[in-house]
Structure 1
Amino acid sequence: MLALIPALSSLTLQGTFVTAILALPGCFVLSARLLENLWRLLRPVLPRRQHLQAAVLAVAGLLVIGVSAVRADSDLRALTQQRISFLQHAAPAFQRYLAENGRWPERPEMLVPAYLPQWPDYLRIEPPLAGATRVRYEQGRGKQPPQVIFFALRGPDATVRFNLADGSITRDR
């Protein structure tokens, strides 16, 4: 059983909200089994060894799910800080591009190598179904500044909008 804990936690670390949704039925089954086994243990009959083992396994399963979710969110929090730190460093490069070209870049990669040495993989613009680690770039039009948008936490209402014109950060929660 203990050998399964790292394997199960790495599933959640893949970083998609879909993984959490797919794990939800397992959480319900384990919770139901836990309650069932606790009820059997609390009955006025002598506890049997198999009931105790089942209860221990159910509690261990719930702990694995909880630890996986907390660990995955802490990894996403660290990734968010890394992204914000780089974008704060890169914002002046976007402003220089605007000053020299009269428009915002169509893609952030257009700044490499003239304005930035590289555009990191953790900020790679990905398709909309990339999960919790996806990043979007909205090109500024007219006076609208460009923004880099990404998730800071799991769930639909936890996005970060980084304004590349002034370096401001807006969190949707």
Structure 2
Amino acid sequence: MRFVQQAVRSGDLAALRTVGRLALVDDVAVMAWVRALARGRRWSSDVREAAMDLLSNGRTERLSSSERSRLRSRLREMSVVEIAHAADGLGGGWARYRVAHVPDLPRVGPSAADMTTLGVVPGEGWMTFVETDDLDRLEQGHDVILDADGNLGVVERPVTTPRPARLLLDSYLLGDVRVSAAAANELEQRAHDL
């Protein structure tokens, strides 16, 4: 608990509300933050995108050949926690809403990944995960209510074409225990096979 409160004070986690000296935080955001908690530097945006390319399809043109070689070598040695940390976790802001109808936004993580390829029996999760490039615009344009117990989790980051590695990383960070473990296993296997 104290560790989480320190993360809120340092700005690593956003507080939903402050009651006295105690900051209340979203449980899913804390889970994603903890799953990406490791030592080391975070990748630059170019290196992060190159790593996602390599983990998705085994190749990238974003870096020079020597940089690609070093990145491949480093990825082979990394655990999923280290990959998540270096890739900056979810890579953006986080908000949770209660909705009657999920907006037509790009799905991420467990809401977009093919669970059967992960060896997990697919089912309808209690929460839907999407991404948007602007939370303020989402709130203005859709019927959503900010709610710590809501059924819609939204990651604020630049919306891109989904890649398998990003879906796996988001599934690891946001999924329940089974989904997270399966996604972690698949992501580590991809890294070790480079």
TM score, norm. by length of structure 2: 0.28
Greater gyration radius: 1
